[in-house]
Amino acid sequence: MRLIEGDSLRERLAAKPPLVESFIDAEAQIQMNGVDFTLREVSRFGDEPGAIDFDNSERKTPETFSIDPDADNWWNLSPGPYWVVYNEIVNIPADMFGMARTRSSLLRSGAHIATALWDSGYSGRSGSVLVIHNPAGLRLKRDARVLQLVFYGLDAPAAKTYAGQYQDENK
């Protein structure tokens, strides 16, 4: 396993299909070791719980409700959890996977983003959970860079790639 960075990252981003597409500004978002993801949508969770079981036969994700930004494209968010969706679409080949980290400016503002692994073979416009810990809340502007996704190369293509219900989500 190795980090895909620098020129190798740029080559993968230029591939067909591109590793990441739908950038707001690729020059600003492509970093030496990863790609900044930007905020497209913010939603609040409903009042019903989620349900997770072993084989997903009884899985139920909770309902979410979109929150519109104000006239200047700012979300004024109170402390708590939110579902966020990114502008960028990923197309992860069989010989890679991705892991994400919250950008430091968001952490310094008292918030973080919890993510899952971006599996080999996954394609889609992803979402994650934003948790605001700051008692004063947080203001986020549409297209803010909030997360950095880094990619790792496998020694060989994965024998089995992602085939779950979130494949091609939000495209």
Tell me the pTM: 0.93
For the segment 138-156, the average pLDDT, to the nearest whole number, is 97
How is residue 148 written in tokens?
């950095």
pLDDT over 80 (residue 57): yes
Classify residue 16 by its DSSP letter. Answer: S
Chain CA centroid to CA 157, Å: 23
51-59: average pLDDT: 94
Tokens of 136: 């004063």
- Say how far apart CA 171 and CA 167 lie, in whole Å: 10
State the distance between the two ends of the chain, measured CA to CA, in whole angstroms: 29
Superfamily designation of domain 2-44+68-153: Deoxyuridine triphosphatase (dUTPase) (2.70.40.10)
Contact 75, 69 (CB under 8 A): yes
3-state helix, strand, coil in the chain (%, to 5): 10, 40, 50
Q: Which residues contact 41 (CB under 8 A, 6 or more apart)?
A: 66, 84, 85, 127
CB-based burial label for 58 (10 Å; 0-12, 13-18, 19+): exposed
Beta bridge mates, 152: 3, 97
Give residue 58's pLDDT: 95
Percent of the chain with pLDDT strictly greater than 70: 99
Amino acid 160: pLDDT: 87
Summary mean pLDDT of the chain = 95
* Tokens, residue 143: 């297209």
Domain ranges, ordered by start, for the chain: 2-44+68-153
Residue 168 has pLDDT above 90, yes or no: no
Indicate the SS3 state at residue 109.
coil
pLDDT beyond 80 at 50: yes
In the prediction, which pLDDT does 15 show?
A: 94
Q: Return the pLDDT at 164.
A: 80
The confidence score (pLDDT) of residue 163 equals: 80
